């Protein structure tokens, strides 16, 4: 990564207990420029956004990771490979 973390956009895929907690901490500490959250359920997406845990929330995986400098997978282990296969073409090298 060639830019400072403060200038980065971080996407967190999975807004369960761990993912939402991470987003809230990133926002509270103002670690990066933008925190994005991705979840399957619309209710989860809305809850995260209106709680202020994320700057951008979506249930569209491709939209959520497109252009993000850092992508964190906070999903169940059994879904990680399928998630990587789906978002891989959208990720920047490095």
User: Quick one: pLDDT band at residue 1, thresholds 50, 70, 90?
Assistant: low
User: Quick one: pLDDT band at residue 92, thresholds 50, 70, 90?
Assistant: confident
DSSP letter, residue 44: H
pLDDT tens profile 5-50: 999 999 999 999 999 999 999 999 999 999 999 999 999 999 999 9
Q: Which domain holds residue 52?
A: 5-90
Task: CATH number of the domain at 15, please.
Answer: 3.40.50.720
Is the pTM higher than 0.85? The answer reads yes
Rounded Cα distance, 5 and 29, in Å: 12
Helices marked H in 1-94 — which ranges?
17-29, 42-50, 61-65, 80-87
- The tokens for 51 are 């709680």
The total number of structural domains in the chain stands at 1
């Amino acid at each position: 990564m060639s830019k400072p973390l403060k200038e980065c956009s971080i996407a967190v895929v999975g807004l369960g207990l761990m993912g939402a907690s991470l987003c809230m901490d990133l926002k509270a500490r103002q670690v990066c420029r933008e925190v994005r959250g991705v979840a399957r359920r619309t209710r989860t997406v809305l809850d995260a956004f209106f709680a202020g845990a994320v700057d951008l929330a979506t249930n569209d995986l491709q939209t959520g990771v497109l252009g993000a400098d850092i992508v964190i997978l906070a999903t169940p282990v059994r879904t990680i490979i399928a998630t990587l296969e789906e978002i891989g073409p959208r990720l920047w090298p490095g």
